[in-house]
Each structure stands twice: as structure tokens, then as C-alpha cells.
Amino acid sequence: MNLTLKIWRQKNTTSQGKMVEYKVNNISEDMSFLEMMDILNEELIVKGDDPIAFDHDCREGICGMCSLYINGEAHGPDRGITTCQLHMRKFKDGDTIYIEPWRAKAFPVIKDLVVDRTSFERIMASGGFISVNTSGNTQDANNIPIPKDDADEAFDAATCIGCGACVATCKNSSAMLFVSAKVSQLALLPQGKLERERRVLNMVDQMDKEGFGNCTNTGACEVECPKGISLSNIARMNREYLRASLVKKD
């Protein structure tokens, strides 16, 4: 199939960007979306143009690196997948496809479609862990029995890949789904309960400092999340936050 692409080009963080039109021909429907981008880039390089920068790595939907906003949807027009799992059979011959980077104040553009997501790193460093050192003498794993339902729920929250689609999708650029997934995972497990108050307070505090917006419960993040992280995590985080605000000691 033959396609028209309108792609966001931006030289670096400080320069102004714009949409630029490209044509690609003879695209097979078996190709992945990123393989289509590879073909465009090969053509651009040979022509002496600057290829389009985009993030990608594992190309199997788990690393969370790829991050394209396609026709107004994070990771494109399919549910439960990342951009690298999107295939060209979802498009028709003659289509025009708009490709943009994640757009959020806390995700500045590095180049073209590549954004800086280190704000997520700083949120994680503020509390996204259980304070336990490596030791050859931790207690036996089976000394901490965990109800299967709790373990499964914690796992579901833990499958977040940190791609940032939730932020890109949210009209407020809120990172609540991302933060709440980590808060939930650790709050649901007995190992994580010991420091649940300081964790949620610190992570939310850092989230606010990074310039992410607030949650207004539209639920768009849940729809576009490639891993199906549930909105109920945000509700749990709000409860955790409220509880922590009341019981905190200092």
C-alpha cells in the first residue's frame, strides 16, 4: 500500500518543530509500524536527508521505549498494544497518517518523536521501592504467605511498562496511572505495607514537582494503556494518600 505520513520534526529541545509530509510506497500489510518507519528512514538517509528519530528497542511490547502518538492516539489505533506491536494491516492504501511525539510539559522533546521521560525516573527514586538491602539472609520466600488474589492484583499493577502513554493521552498530562500502579503494587503486598505512608506521600510530591497535571477521572489513560492498567489503581492511590496524610507522624 501507499501512504502519506505527516510527521513531527523538531531538531532539538529548544528549537521549534513542525509537521512535515512524507510519502512511502509498497508497504506490506505484514510489516510492523516501526518497520514502515525503518523503510522511510532508509530512503531518507540515501537521499541525504535527516532520518526521523524515534524511540524503540525490544520491538515486542515490553520494554516501554516506543512512544508514538498516531492519528491522535497513543500507540495508534489498536487496543492493548505498544507502537511496535501495531501492524500495517490496521491501515488502508492511500491513508494519511499523523505521527507525533508524546506531548506533556514533563516530557520535553529531545528530537523529532523522542521525548525525555526522566521525570518518571525521579518519581521512582522518590519512593518506588521497598527499603530492603541485598542479603544472603533474608527470610525464606515462603515465610511471607500472600493471598493469591492480592498477589494477582499486585502483579496486574506491576505490569506497567512505564511508557508514558497515560500521560500523553490525558488532557491534563497527569501521571496518576503510572504512579498509582507502583503505589498499588507495593501497598497490596505485606512486604510493602511497612513504608506505605512515606512512599505515597513522596511519590505524589515528586509527581507534582515534575509538572504533571491532576486527574479528573476521564479514564482515557486506562483505555490507551498498552498493559490495561486499571483506573482503580488511581482510586487506591487516592485512599493511600488520604490515609497517609492523616496518620503521618511528622
Partner 1 sequence: MSELKSNIPEGPLADKWTNHKNNIRLVNPANKRLIDVIVVGTGLAGGSAAATLAELGYNVKAFCFQDSPRRAHSIAAQGGINAAKNYQGDGDSVYRLFYDTIKGGDYRSREANVYRLAEVSANIIDQCVAQGVPFAREYGGLLDNRSFGGVQVSRTFYAKGQTGQQLLLGAYSAMSRQIGRGKIKMYNRHEMLDIVKIDGKARGIIARDLITGEIERHSAHAVVIATGGYGNVFFLSTNAMGSNVTAAWKVHKRGAHFANPCFTQIHPTCIPVSGDHQSKLTLMSESLRNDGRIWVPGKKEDAEAIRNGKLKPTDIKEEDRDYYLERRYPAFGNLVPRDVASRAAKERCDAGYGVNKTGEAVYLDFSSAIMRYGKEKAITEGLGNISESKIKELGKKVVEAKYGNLFQMYEKIVDQNPYETPMMIYPAVHYTMGGLWVDYNLMTTIPGCYAAGEANFSDHGANRLGASALMQGLADGYFVLPYTIGDYLADDIRTGPISTDLPEFEQVENEVKDRLNKLINNKGTHTVDYFHKKLGKIMWDKVGMARNERGLKEAIEEIKALRKEFWENVLVPGDLNEFNPELEKAGRVADFMELGELMALDALERNESCGGHFREESQSEEGEAMRKDDIYAYVSSWEFNGDASGFSLHKENLNFENVELKTRSYK
Q: Which of the residues 142 through 181 are near partner 1 (CB under 8 A)?
A: 142, 144-148, 151-152, 154-155, 158-159, 161-162
Q: Which is nearer to partner 1, 28 or 214 (CB)?
A: 28
Per-residue b or e along 192-227, where b marks 16 or more CB atoms closer than 10 Å to that residue's CB: beebbbbbbbbbbebbeebebbebeeeebbbebbbb
- Using CB under 8 A as the binding rule, the residues of this chain from 80 to 109 that contact partner 1 are 81, 85, 87, 89
Give the residue among 77, 66, 9 at the shortest CA–CA distance from 35: 66
Instruction: Count Cα atoms within 13 angstroms, Cβ side, for 224.
Output: 28
Nearer to partner 1, 46 or 246 (CB): 46
Figure out which of the listed residues 131, 216, 217, 245 binds partner 1, where binding follows CB under 8 A. Answer: 131
The 3-state DSSP composition of the chain as helix, strand, coil percent (nearest 5) reads: 40, 15, 45
- The phi, psi pair for 131, rounded to 5°, reads -80, 80
* Min CB(19)–partner 1 separation in Å: 19
Say whether residue 194 binds partner 1 (CB under 8 A): no
Among residues 116, 218, 219, 223, the one that binds partner 1 under rule CB under 8 A:
116
Calpha distance 12→171 (Å, rounded):
24
Q: Minimal CA–CA distance to 169: which of 56, 96, 240, 79? A: 79
CA 57 to CA 228: how far, in whole Å? 21
Nearest distance from residue 96's CB to partner 1, in Å? 21
Backbone dihedral region for residue 138 (phi beyond 0: left; psi -120 to 50: alpha; all else: beta): beta
* Site membership for partner 1, residue 232 (CB under 8 A): no
* DSSP 3-state of 98: strand
Task: Pick the closer one to partner 1 by CB: 79 or 239.
Answer: 79
CB of 217 to partner 1, least distance (A): 26
Q: With binding defined as CB under 8 A, does residue 63 bind partner 1? A: yes
- Binding-site size for partner 1 (CB under 8 A) equals 78
Provide the minimum distance between the beta carbon of 1 and partner 1 in the complex, in angstroms, as a whole number.
13
Nearer to partner 1 (CB atom), residue 6 or residue 59: 59
Positions in 10-39 near partner 1 (CB under 8 A): 11-12, 28, 30-32, 34-35, 38-39
Give the residue, chosen from 5, 7, 33, 61, that forms a contact with partner 1 under the rule CB under 8 A.
61
On the 0-12 / 13-18 / 19+ scale of CB atoms within 10 A, 127 is buried
